[in-house]
Amino acid sequence: MANWNIVFQLKLLLLIVFVVQYSKATRLSLFHPFGSTNEPQGNGITWAVLVAGSSGYENYGHQADVCHAYQILKRGGLKDENIIVFMYDDIASDPNNPYPGVIINRPNGSDVYAGVPKDYTGESVTADNFYAVLLGNATAVKGGSGKVVASQPDDKIFVYFTDHGGPGVLCMPNDPFIYANDFIKVLETKHEMGTYDEMVIYVEACESGSIFEGLLPADLNIYVTTASNANESSYAAYCDGFNTCLGDLYSISWMEDSDSEDLRVETLEQQYLKVKIRTYDNHSSEGSHVMQYGTLGISKETVSVYQGSTPKKSSAHTLQSSDSMDVVNQRDADLYSMWQMHKKLTEGSQQKEELFKKIKEITAHRTHLDSSVDMIKGYLLGNEQALVRDKGSALVDDWGCLKLMVRTFEKYCGSLTQYGMKHTRTFADLCNNGVTNIAMDTATKHTCSSYKMGRWNPALVGYSA
């Protein structure tokens, strides 16, 4: 009887060892309800696509964000061959930069520009190249390094996008912009190709929730967090005392968290919750609501799966207090930067006068955009209230109609610019209320026939749709 007990105990011990080893081999948690992984499974690797969708020193923060994100991933062990960077690359050498050749993402911060790959810069920072890179379609890429996400079925993908935006749209430095339906179609195509295991997307932009709300299916193995919901602006940060804003509130929140935490332990959900609190900026009017979409079960995985892991002895920045964020509405960040530069220029200098003239022109065009959209809406809808869509619905059903409305407006009234993209919701309302393009053409031509577009002529700067 004693011998039988010994044999039984030995068999039980062997069974326990087998189960533990099997769990390690497959990297699955036996106790996690979602069955998610903490690291890429099998021979899978992690890819990353980092996109700064703006240009100009007044938009400094977006490129600084992307450079900082690169340093986190590089420090975490991702290889340059698997990190693809989109950035206009015009701020490090800008004459307004007090530290030539250097980019910082926080006050007194270290250089985050050093070593950043220049995959797609200048004219190659386009929506079409972004789509081609995600799909791994090297033949469709125009310009740049030619690097694409050549991912395999076991691979993970991390996408980070930072820029201006509007309802259903993300801006790019070269027209046309990224429209939500096109982006979602790319993600669905990538899923159909079967060339990734799971994907995580972080998006910093005004109304960034509208890119995914009512559009992103929950079964694509894609987890998304956004800086704002579908109806509000996001915020630039670290603006006080500088000629420009050094970063963006949501972006520096997740990156400074990644700098300070053990990413092998912290989950995506934990990071999301902390960033959500910080980005709301203590329930102030100068904060936004961070949102999540898609396959929410992925949030139970550790951040290290997508960003790599940094030893705790790293000298990375620590998380800053929300009291020192110095935030500015994203849509005003460029003018804020110009006014800061204007203050520091010598009184009566030609440079100061030219900058003031530029500020006046931009302000006048914005006033024109706002008043023109209001007039067109009133002309087409009268006193009728636009149809209210159900909560959680996509911005519009007919995206072709929305793009045509945008092009028609820009044809007669000038470029919407990054500021005017907030009006895409009005154009979507026109589509949802059955307004035809013929009616839109007539109303827009009547409203803007006498407006001198100047440098905002779409024939010069391109159409955003």
Give the separation between CA 194 and CA 60, rounded to whole angstroms: 37
Work out the pLDDT band at 312, boundaries 50, 70, 90: low
Give the separation between CA 428 and CA 405, rounded to whole angstroms: 8
Is 80 exceeded by the pLDDT of residue 267?
yes
Work out the pLDDT band at 173, boundaries 50, 70, 90: very high
Torsion region of 89: left, alpha or beta (phi above 0 gives left; psi -120 to 50 gives alpha): left
Is 60 exceeded by the pLDDT of residue 318?
no
pLDDT for the residue 36: 35
Work out the average pLDDT over 100-123.
97
pLDDT tens digits along 414-428? 999 999 999 999 999
pLDDT for the residue 387: 75
Give the separation between CA 365 and CA 451, rounded to whole angstroms: 10
pLDDT for the residue 380: 95
pLDDT for the residue 25: 36
pLDDT tens digits along 225-248? 999 999 999 999 999 878 899 999
Mean pLDDT, rounded, of the chain:
89
Is 50 exceeded by the pLDDT of residue 342?
yes
pLDDT for the residue 324: 59
Q: Establish whether 431 is a catalytic residue.
A: no
Fold annotation for 345-461:
Topoisomerase I; Chain A, domain 4 (1.10.132)
Least confident of 257-261, 279-283, 300-304, 330-334: 279-283
pTM for this entry: 0.89
- Concatenate the DSSP letters of all residues of 198-255 into one string: EEEEEEESTTGGGGTTTTS-TTSSEEEEESS-TTS--EEES-TTSSS--EEHHHHHHH
Class of domain 46-311+319-328: alpha beta
Q: Which residues of 417-440 are buried (b: 16+ CB within 10 A; e: fewer)?
A: bbbbbbbbbbbbbbbbeebebeeb
Q: What residue segments make up the domains of the chain, in order of their start?
A: 46-311+319-328, 345-461
Q: Decide: 275 and 253 in contact? Cβ < 8 Å.
A: yes
Q: Decide: 354 and 296 in contact? Cβ < 8 Å.
A: no
Q: How many Å separate Cα 84 from the centre of its chain?
A: 15
Give the separation between CA 232 and CA 420, rounded to whole angstroms: 14
Work out the pLDDT band at 308, boundaries 50, 70, 90: very high
Q: Establish whether 164 is a catalytic residue.
A: yes
45 burial type by CB count under 10 A (0-12 exposed, 13-18 middle, 19+ buried): middle
Could you give the C-alpha distances from 337 to 95, 118, 147, 233, 413, in angstroms and in order? 14, 25, 33, 18, 26
Is 70 exceeded by the pLDDT of residue 31?
no
Give the separation between CA 138 and CA 127, rounded to whole angstroms: 14
Q: Decide: 39 and 27 in contact? Cβ < 8 Å.
A: yes
Catalytic residue, candidates 67, 171, 206, 245:
206
Amino acid making up residue 195: T
Return the higher-pLDDT residue of 24 and 204. 204
Give the separation between CA 386 and CA 1, rounded to whole angstroms: 83
pLDDT for the residue 19: 39
Could you give the C-alpha distances from 429 to 58, 180, 231, 261, 373, in angstroms and in order? 31, 16, 14, 43, 12
Query: Hey, CA dihedral for 457, 459, 464, 465, is it positive or negative?
Result: positive
Catalytic residue, candidates 62, 68, 164, 317:
164
Least confident of 31-45, 139-153, 320-334: 31-45
Work out the pLDDT band at 283, boundaries 50, 70, 90: low
Work out the average pLDDT over 206-226.
98
Work out the average pLDDT over 168-190.
97
pLDDT tens digits along 40-89? 545 799 999 999 999 999 999 999 999 999 999 999 999 999 999 999 99
Q: Which of 402, 388, 389 is nearest to 435 (CA)?
A: 402
pLDDT for the residue 258: 97
Work out the average pLDDT over 124-141.
98
